[in-house]
A and B are shown apart, each in its own frame.
Chain A
Amino acid sequence: MALSRDEIMEKVREALVDALGVDEDEVIPTARIGPDLGAESIDYLDIVFRLEKAFNIKIPRGDLFPDNILTSEEFVQNKKLTEKGLAELKVRMPYADLSKFEQNPNVDDIADLFTVNMIVGYVEAKLASAAA
C-alpha cells in the first residue's frame, strides 16, 4: 500500500488538525508546527502518537522532534546550539532545511524547523524504508 505524497499530506493534516485544534486550511506545507499552528511541548508528543496510529509506523522517542538536543551543555551554550549541537541536529533531521537556522542557531528558533513539510518528508522516508 504505497501512499502518494498528497495522501501522506492529507493524513498528516488530519493528525495536526486533531492534535492542535487548528482549521484544515491553516495546515499548509510551509506552516511551522510551533509558531504558526500553536503547538507546544506536550503537543509534540500527541502529534507523534497520532502519526504512529495514522501510518502504522513506530516513531522512536526523539526521532521526529529531536529533543535530545536540549539535554546537554555539549549541544547548547548561551541559548545557542554549539558546533556539536548543530552536527547532532543535522544527523537527526536529514530532511530538514537547516541553511537559514545554521547562520544563527538560537534555541528559541528551533521550532521554525518543524514544518508540515518536514513531517511529510519524515513519514515518506519511514514508509519507504519499511517497504524496502
Chain B
Amino acid sequence: MRFYLVDRILELQPPKRIVAVKSLSLAEEYLADHFPAYPVLPGVMMLEALVQAAAWLVRVQTDFEKSLVLLREAQNVRYGNFVRPGGQLVMEVEAIEIGPDASRFKAVGQCDGQQAVQAKLTLEHFNIGDEDPLRANLDAGLRTLLRERFRLVGGPQALAARVPS
C-alpha cells in the first residue's frame, strides 16, 4: 500500500499556507492492527499527513524544483482526539520559512473541529542528482509523477481559487 496521505488540497496560498484533507477509510490496511476492535488513525500517520501537506506547499512555491521533499525534524508534536473511520483530518499548515534546501512550518490537524495533532516541522529538499550524479535521471521522472499527483489532489483548482494578497 502506498502512503499517499493527502487526498485533497482545499486551499493553497503559496508561500504562506495550505489546507488539505485526509479522509480515513475503514479499508486502510494498517487499521486492522490499530486496533482490531477500535480502529483509529495512528499518530505517526497523522504526522506524515502533515508533512505531505507541507511538502505540497514547498513544491508549489519552488515549482517542483527538488524532487525529494522529506521530513528532517518534528518538534512539539502533540496528539489530541482520535480520527476514526469516516472522519476527515483537516490539516492547516503555515509556513514559517521556505528556502531552496529547507523549510519550516507550524501544522495543525483537526477532525470535527477538535484538535487531533499539532507539530512544528522542518523539511529538507534535494534532488537525487545532487547526491548521486549517476541517478540524476530519476529526478525528472519523479517531478512528472508529482505534477500529476498535484492534479489528482486538486492542486490547480486550489491555486486558481486563491485569494489575492
Contact = CB atoms under 8 A, between A and B. Distances in A.
Contact of A42 (B38, B42, B78, B82): B42
A96 interface: no
Given A40-B43, A41-B42, A42-B44, A76 B37 contact: yes
Nearest to B37: A76
Contact of B79 (A38, A75, A107): A38
Nearest to A67: B35
A123 B82 CA distance: 29
A73 B79 contact: no
A72 B36 contact: yes
Given A40-B44, A42-B42, A42-B44, A70 B79 contact: no
Interface string A1-32: 00000000000000000000100000000000
Interface residues of A, number: 18
Contacts of B76: 38
A40 to B, nearest CB: 3
A38 B79 CA distance: 6
A44 B34 CA distance: 13
Nearest to A38: B78
B35 A40 contact: no
Kindly name the residue among B38, B75, B82 whose own CB sees the greatest number of chain A CB atoms within 10 A.
Answer: B38
Interface string A60-73: 00000001001111
B42 A40 contact: yes
A42 B43 contact: yes
A39 B78 CA distance: 8
Contacts of B42: 40-42
Contacts of B138: none
B44 A70 contact: no
A73 B37 contact: yes
B35 A34 contact: no
A76 B36 CA distance: 10
Contact of B36 (A42, A43, A70, A79): A70
Kindly name the residue among B34, B36, B37, B42 whose own CB sees the greatest number of chain A CB atoms within 10 A.
Answer: B37
Interface of B: 34-38, 42-44, 75-79, 81-82
Given A40-B44, A42-B44, A70-B35, 13 more contacts: A21-B75, A38-B76, A38-B77, A38-B79, A40-B42, A40-B43, A40-B79, A42-B42, A42-B43, A70-B36, A71-B35, A73-B37, A79-B38
